[in-house]
Chain A
Amino acid sequence: MTIDTSIVEESEELAKPSQAPMTGVVAARGRGGFGRRRAGGKPPKFLFMRNSKAVAGLVILAFFLLIAIIGPWIAPYDPSARSSDVLQPPSWQHLFGTTHLGQDVFSQIVVGTRGVIIVGFVAGILATAIGVIIGVTAGYIGGLGDETLSVLANVFLVIPQLPLIIIIAGQLPSVGGVTVAVVIAITGWAWGARVLRAQTLSLRKRDFVEAARANGESTWRIITVEILPNLTAIIASGFVGTVAFAVLSLITLSFIGIGNTGEWNWGTVLYQAQAQLALQRGAWWWFVPAGLCIALLGMALTLINFGIDEFVNPRLRSTGVNAKSLRKRGIRPRIGFTPVVRETDAPRTAIAPHLAEHTEPTDAARPADAARPADAAASAEAEASSPTSKGARA
């Protein structure tokens, strides 16, 4: 269950600070002179792909997508087929062991990938679509329409999501994957809508939107062509978040027995395992892999979201190189203590003779000095020493 939802209505001045952590997205266009502005402008293309987290996430996701597509063909067994190898631990015949009916757990997981992915993506797409339509419209039109849509979104946020899903899912005649996805979408769009609304609200006041208006663009075009593309990252991260949420919801629903246990997905595998007390019976292989797959998929989605966040908010970007190489160079990035790395350090530590006299603490009034002599000695250096690094650079 998501808990960090907020229905606090952003008062305008709060919009920026409060938005940041929720979405992880901060408009990077600070007011810090031209240099910084330039740095904070639209990042070059493919920067996203350079983010190692995002790449790792995309690779994992692509793997699961592939399995989702080809799963039924590569699964070694029919996931529902019984065999005489009942409740066998993992072996070469059954990579993840077998169930109480002798079904191959590996095949169930491979085949079940599709169900998970479909539900995740259908829910993600639907919820995002609803969220975009309602959020952006509310943010742009303002006034009464905005208030109404906001209340709608907030009501959906106030109502606890999982119970609502349980109730709605309970009403549907059948609980195929897609219906679960629809239910998740119906209950899960509100958060995205809120974030988008807030963002649209701030975009609406941007000059380029004003400029488009002053140029006579139609409202519809302003929303779709001028505003929406600027929300891509937020929409994408909302989408990814919803997919993750939908996957977890599906699995939880399956686990508490709502949802179609006849359709193979990781949740039904877990449900079966739990209903048959796999853990109590020591059949960990039945329970553990599906959970790890979910965790892996969830992690992949989170990593992608990290990537998006960092893409949108350059401040979050990791320091460029991994910690190891920073350590190797002796750099510790810190606020307020810029690292000093001298490529040609050796000759610079000598104390210039004519400065030596200054290094003695002559004035006791400043206690700080007492603690510093060694350092001061090290730092005070030959005035005459010639610039050493210039040649190396040129």
Chain B
Amino acid sequence: MTLTTPETGARRAPADDPVLEIRNLSVDYGYDDDPVHVLRDVSLTLGRGEVLGLAGESGCGKSTLAYAATRLLPPPGLITGGEVLFTGRDGRKTDILRLDDQSLRESRWQDLAIVFQGAMNSLSPVYRIGRQIADGILAHRPGMSKADAMARAAEMLELVGISPDRLRSYPHQLSGGMRQRVMIAMALALEPQVLIMDEPTTALDVVMQRQIVEQIAELRDRLGFSVIFITHDVSLLIEIADRIAIMYAGEIVEDAASLDVYQRPRHPYSSALLHSFPPLRGPRRELTGIPGSPPDLAKLGGGCHFRDRCAFAWDACAALAPRLTAPDVADDDPRRTTACLRHEPERVAAAGFEAKPVPAELAG
């Protein structure tokens, strides 16, 4: 019943059968001469059938990544580089960023669907939800009759545990949790292979959050799609994701299996994040929090962006930008990566700085 398969090894490695590969994606905000570089060469791979969690504090660019990958970023967002390769069931790869409008429209929702944070705002207040589900279906199945589309919509509603007679309800007549489920039903209507969920449960309270999360897990088991799940609630991610990517200031700083991240964080930021929320059960562990505040993306300098808040920073951190590499820890899952100079002793040394070892906290 859990989403996570406890043993890391049993999971299919993402690279084996990727369904979505984001490569070197760069995004700016602002069309003028002085844009904010929000994402810088972000790469991420989503394996088929996998639940990939994307965590990080607010404003680090999680949503930007999700929207940019689908080209839904609102103005003044601008994609300045990279590619987003989608691998269809037939194995064909297409770069979403290079599709023309028509092809992109056709690809959307069948290949890749997205569920936004606020379900309240994701549904047009003036249409009944049945119609909103059906029109997505009809847009991709031109031959389908309206009645069939409605029938399909009803089926989808049932799938997410809402009685089909709600088809004729308006969004405002539904509770927050129901609306979020309607969104999920809508997203799954065309059986997409990738579902991106941007903080789908943040606005809900824990009980409702639990229900939604279970729903997603169950549906994934049944329909076999892949999920990118975005939230800054790491504890939630650890529960539901197979793999977690931690973002900081527009970059991915750690990418590993979820239990690995939880139990053996390799990046100081991941580690600090895990020490920022109190545990509900078990011993009362010491909470350290993260000192300072996130950097302003508009004024990022070189080097590691976390260094000002990092307990393990030294002079190399100001000069060298860390790269995502396998952690410098023995016996680690070779597929996990992290972006910290502590794990790149050779590069540090090559640049003429004193190479420091991985601290015990990050090597456990």
Q: Which residues of A approach B to under 8 Å, CB–CB?
A: 31-35, 38, 319-321, 325-326, 329, 331, 333-344, 348, 355, 358-359, 361-363, 366, 368-369, 371-372, 375-376, 378-381, 387-390, 393-394
Contacts and interface: CB of A to CB of B under 8 A. Distances in A.
A375 B26 contact: no
A379 B75 contact: no
A338 B68 contact: yes
B41 interface: yes
Contacts of B26: 389, 393
Scoring B26, B75, B88, B99 by chain A CB atoms within 10 A of each residue's CB, the highest score goes to: B75
Secondary structure class of chain A's binding surface, majority of residues: loop
Scoring B23, B31, B59, B88 by chain A CB atoms within 10 A of each residue's CB, the highest score goes to: B31
A36 to B, nearest CB: 9
Contacts of A321: 31-33
Contact of B92 (A320, A369, A389): A369
Nearest to B63: A33
Given A34-B58, A389-B81, A393-B37, 16 more contacts: A31-B118, A32-B118, A321-B31, A325-B31, A333-B75, A333-B76, A339-B78, A341-B80, A361-B92, A363-B92, A375-B98, A379-B99, A380-B85, A387-B24, A389-B24, A393-B26
B72 A336 contact: yes
B107 A368 contact: yes
Contacts of B76: 319-320, 333
Contacts of B101: 337
Given A372-B103, A376-B94, A390 B32 contact: no
Contacts of A388: 81
B303 to A, nearest CB: 10
Contacts of A33: 58-59, 63, 117, 199
Interface size class of B (residues with CB under 8 A): 35 or more
A338 B118 contact: no
Interface string B105-137: 011001000000110000000000000000000
9 contacts: A325-B31, A337-B71, A340-B71, A361-B92, A362-B92, A379-B99, A388-B81, A389-B26, A389-B82
Given A33-B63, A368-B107, A375-B98, A381 B83 contact: yes
Nearest to A348: B83
A359 B92 contact: yes
Nearest to B125: A17
A374 to B, nearest CB: 9
A345 to B, nearest CB: 9
Contacts of B77: 338
B31 A320 contact: yes
Interface string B63-91: 10001100111111111111101001111
Nearest to A35: B59
A319 B76 CA distance: 7
Contacts of A378: 98
B77 to A, nearest CB: 5
Given A320-B30, A326-B31, A339 B92 contact: no
A341 B79 contact: yes
B109 to A, nearest CB: 12
Nearest to A339: B78
